[in-house]
Structure 1
């Protein structure tokens, strides 16, 4: 009973006052961003009550929380000042919930700016153009930040391929060499740094690295195929070996480029799991082999997957925890369905019907690295889709590894939207 009369803290009182002030004004959403932020700054406690009052999609509240949560008083006041300065510029980036992470990183790194925010003026009402302009104004001291670094900010990939993009921006903006950045997952030569800086703006960090590695060996025509493989999406200790596989294909005359992905699957199986009764061969090399012999062995392995000779009935029934991704049904007619495969037997049947190597994904599915989905039209298998643990669709293949058709693209895009998935541009 004694707690009923216990006085509330000053922070809680200020929060209640801010909520009450906003509640008294029915048109508070019409206030200027500066005025709204001033009220938010008055809330020195958690924004739980205010969030309930304003709603979960209120951009300024989300941004303020992202910038100031758990910060010491002095640091919080500094960040509030930057937000108020942005509001005074009528910056559209403050009103976009999807930009909260990027703007919060910008505010956090504001002390390392090359120019003053007071000297920046938005030249466009487009929030994304404003964000790019802000980044270049504040941090790009020499106007040569690579486009893919800016794109990471615009896509809110503040950690990209294990690299802290904000720290990398500060480093490059000071005129330092990319190869001298301590947060790189790999070492770079001068040639690789030069090529990485030329990589297309739409690249991720890993894609820019693969672009540079292929450009350095005059093999850029293989970039699309490389980015479709696991090597194109991950940085590992055996990168030099996989670059050798690219060299092997680039040097072969009249080879079908569509064989690159299946051969990579076969090599990965041979190195990490083993083929048939063979043990894994981590030291496997292509030295001394011909393209014809490699493709022949890959096709033989492919056929063995269909026959399931190596796996008995028990392993055929092997299952695994599925990804938390919903299946898809096109409507009452159920003409188009997309379902997650849940057993090794289903992987085998999928590969048999569509004549590809999806059965080799057993280990990856069991480890939770990816999930395999099957798109059917009127009950007939049409496409196989690989979805990574981070909810990104990275591979889409039909019979004999064909690309998806336009009508199939419609259904995949609709499923991706409903299931909140991203579709890789190389899928």
Structure 2
């Protein structure tokens, strides 16, 4: 296809897209007037050079947004024919158009940018229009479940433009409570707090706890938030494993009166702490059939090496406690037979000593994990024995 033919094809696609998105209502005339003004004054609806119809995601986004703009014609404060853009780039030009049409007063960019999202909610659009008229976010109804204090409202204009509406309000809330921008970025983008929760007063207490104990590593911040959410709100089956039930393990969990040190201790020993309150969980037991692979007994001088499969949740729990890693979390995979867990031990005298825990994928016949104590790398001796066993059983090593 020649360059001229491609250009004509792209033009036909654009014309069809504009027709298909035109409002079928009294706003239709305003839509076409706005399209004509945009075409004459900016590159928002310009066809990219050398583009094919499959490359028009950006154009489709802009056209959908233009249709939404005309559906809110009654909120326009200026007519599009008086718009005079000076910016380059479709996002900056569209932001300039929004500012011209709607904003009597400044609105934060994170709300304005949401107009370009295909799944923009009516709530965020109405909030934008509310603030464009000069009203405070605290006067908006229906309000977000995230509490908007005067301090939160003061941070709204400083929310990073790339955030979506709910994460943006969470960001302002954290900064309003005294948190750093780094903490706000972390929790607003990479945690379950990127949206409204079912218990905002509780989560505000968690935020105050984190802010009070800063500086903390951001990885630990996320671990604390995930741990609290799992224990207080998620089904016990998710956190504990099979037998945990559908109710949360610690629905009464609170951080009031806790120190960071006591919380860290509880996060490290939460299974033992819960068993003291709910001893019936220890009575839950699951086992599963052996896999097709044979165990190993291998003599090397005065040392006897043992490799055998762990076939119950109790065996996984003991292995995890002794080796200080999370192998117990694989109970579900073992029950479904998508994973097979093995223990490598050495005996020179007395009781065999645990050296390595292995995960085998029964379908692909691969050893996908081999970890020593505290998830350390296996010793050279352990690796040699593991290779011997893998070769005998026709297994592939991928991580040793």
Q: TM-score, with normalisation over the residues of structure 2?
A: 0.58
Deviation at 1:300, TM superposition (A): 3.8
2:193 aligned with 1:232, yes or no? yes
Among 184, 197, 203, the residue aligned to 2:143: 184
2:109 aligned with 1:147, yes or no? yes
In structure 2, the CA distance between the partners of 1:67 and 1:380, relative to structure 1 (3 Å rule), is farther
Is the 2:178–2:211 Cα contact (8 Å) retained in structure 1?
A: no
2:288 match: none
Q: Secondary structure at the match of 2:45?
A: helix
2:45 match: 94
Q: 1:330-349 residue pairs with structure 2 within 5 A?
A: none
2:268 match: 299
In structure 2, the CA distance between the partners of 1:107 and 1:260, relative to structure 1 (3 Å rule), is same
Deviation at 1:312, TM superposition (A): 6.1
Is the 1:211–1:223 Cα contact (8 Å) retained in structure 2?
A: yes
1:326 match: none
Deviation at 1:253, TM superposition (A): 6.7
Is the 1:57–1:97 Cα contact (8 Å) retained in structure 2?
A: no
Q: Secondary structure at the match of 1:123?
A: coil
List runs of 5+ in structure 1 lacking aligned partners. Answer: 1-25, 31-53, 320-341, 344-348, 357-377, 382-427
2:117 match: 157
Deviation at 1:27, TM superposition (A): 7.1
Q: TM-score, with normalisation over the residues of structure 1?
A: 0.55
Q: Secondary structure at the match of 1:92?
A: coil
Provide the rounded CA distance (Å) in 1 between the counterparts of 2:63 and 2:261.
Answer: 53
Deviation at 1:307, TM superposition (A): 3.2
Q: 1:406-417 residue pairs with structure 2 within 5 A?
A: none
In structure 2, the CA distance between the partners of 1:298 and 1:206, relative to structure 1 (3 Å rule), is same
Q: Secondary structure at the match of 2:22?
A: helix
2:229 match: 268
Does 246-255 or 218-227 show the bigger shift?
246-255
1:173 match: 132
Is the 1:145–1:172 Cα contact (8 Å) retained in structure 2?
A: yes
Among 157, 161, 164, the residue aligned to 1:197: 157
Is the 2:83–2:97 Cα contact (8 Å) retained in structure 1?
A: yes
Provide the rounded CA distance (Å) in 2 between the counterparts of 1:238 and 1:193.
Answer: 20
In structure 2, the CA distance between the partners of 1:251 and 1:84, relative to structure 1 (3 Å rule), is closer
Deviation at 1:251, TM superposition (A): 2.4
List runs of 5+ in structure 2 lacking aligned partners. Answer: 47-58, 272-319, 340-360, 363-367, 376-396
Provide the rounded CA distance (Å) in 2 between the counterparts of 1:236 and 1:315.
Answer: 33
Provide the rounded CA distance (Å) in 1 between the counterparts of 2:101 and 2:7.
Answer: 29
In structure 2, the CA distance between the partners of 1:283 and 1:122, relative to structure 1 (3 Å rule), is same
Is the 1:147–1:201 Cα contact (8 Å) retained in structure 2?
A: yes
1:391 match: none
Provide the rounded CA distance (Å) in 2 between the counterparts of 1:309 and 1:139.
Answer: 53
- Taking only aligned residues, the RMSD between alpha carbons, in angstroms, comes to 3.9
2:42 aligned with 1:59, yes or no? no
Among 113, 124, 136, the residue aligned to 2:99: 136
After the TM superposition, which parts of structure 1 deviate over 6 Å for at least 4 consecutive aligned residues?
A: 349-353
Deviation at 1:131, TM superposition (A): 1.1
1:118 match: 81
Q: Secondary structure at the match of 1:58?
A: helix
Deviation at 1:235, TM superposition (A): 1.0
Provide the rounded CA distance (Å) in 2 between the counterparts of 1:246 and 1:28.
Answer: 55
Provide the rounded CA distance (Å) in 1 between the counterparts of 2:15 and 2:126.
Answer: 25
Aligned pair count?
277
Is the 1:58–1:97 Cα contact (8 Å) retained in structure 2?
A: no
2:166 match: 206
Is the 1:149–1:169 Cα contact (8 Å) retained in structure 2?
A: yes
